[in-house]
Structure 1
Amino acid sequence: MASALKTRINDELKTAMRAKDKARVAVLRLINSEFKRIEVDERIELDDARVLVVLDKMLKQRRDSITQFEAAGRDDLADKEKSESTVIQEFLPAPLSDAELDQIVDKAIADSGASSMREMGQAMALIKPQVQGRADMGDVSKRIKARLA
């Protein structure tokens, strides 16, 4: 089954090429090359769920880079990463609000029966597919720790 999200990204790439938007073309090609690398390495066709995982990982890498570049005073590089992040975010679902995230975390803790930090992984396993691409897993982890502490 071909990924609708991958198709949309390819269509956006063609549009950006016609518009001669070099920066956008570069980011979209970067995304496509990551998809291709995974498909070749694992001999699979990416579905929408896996595409979201890849985009989420790419966004997290950009956020980490922005933090490091700003700490080093390299605003030029931080700005480049921010513009790449903006393009990647276009293809991710809308982020969850704090209230929605709290509700998902509470439900997962109740459903998994987690009562201590040792059982945190069970709650995380229930939450991850629901919030992929819509919330920072580090933030989710902090929320679970706060509830179980």
Structure 2
Amino acid sequence: MSVIERLKEEQKAAMRAKNKARLGAIRLALAAIKQLEVDGQKTLSDDEAVAVLTKMVKQRRDSISQYEAANRQDLADVEAAEVVVLQEFLPQPLTDDELAALIEKAMADSGASSMQDMGKVMGLLKPQVQGRADMGALSGLIKARLG
């Protein structure tokens, strides 16, 4: 079952269960996906839908930190609840060992030896880890290996 189909099924289940918080988060995700489909005049693939969900999770995490800095825990809690729902539809995150193995393989495949080769390594890794690892953390790990 594709990510979009799973979202639609879970939307129906949330409606039946009268779970407004979950339903709201799922509707936001479906609306973001639909907007991209309309703008691009095409149906999104699973990878593209995962990218949308990943971006939504990142935006909410940024909002949580801003709300907490402004002492608005009520708003931060709403965002945190949305993150939990959205993460259900993302692939399982990679473990540190799996990530290290992927970085080693990408460095060997690209022949990377210095910081100038970081773009090559990131280019190889991005499709493999999309939605399964934080790209900022991945970048830091690569820098540590190349530097």
TM-score, structure 2 as length reference:
0.97
2:109 maps to amino acid: D
Aligned partner of 2:91 in structure 1 is 93
Q: Could you list the runs of 4 or more consecutive aligned residues of structure 1 that deviate by over 4 angstroms after TM superposition? A: none
Aligned partner of 2:15 in structure 1 is 17
Pairwise CA distance, 1:21: 0.6
2:123 maps to amino acid: A
Aligned partner of 1:6 in structure 2 is 4
2:138 maps to amino acid: V
Equivalent residue in structure 2 for 1:57, among 55, 58, 79: 55
Question: What is the RMSD computed on CA atoms of the aligned residues?
Answer: 1.0
**Amino-acid identity (%):** 56
Aligned partner of 1:33 in structure 2 is 31
Aligned-partner SS, 1:133: coil
Paired positions, count: 147
Pairwise CA distance, 1:118: 1.6
Aligned-partner SS, 2:91: coil
Q: Within 5 Å, which residues of 2 pair with 1:74-113?
A: 74-113=72-111
TM-score, structure 1 as length reference:
0.95
Aligned-partner SS, 2:92: coil
Q: Distance in 1 between matches of 2:90 and 2:47?
A: 11
1:13 maps to amino acid: Q
Q: Does residue 146 in structure 1 map to residue 144 in structure 2?
A: yes
Pairwise CA distance, 1:115: 1.4
> Unaligned regions of 5+ residues in structure 1, if any?
none
Aligned partner of 1:116 in structure 2 is 114
1:83-133 Cα deviation digits (max 9, x unpaired): 000000000111111111111111111111111112101100111111111
Q: Distance in 1 between matches of 2:107 and 2:65?
A: 31
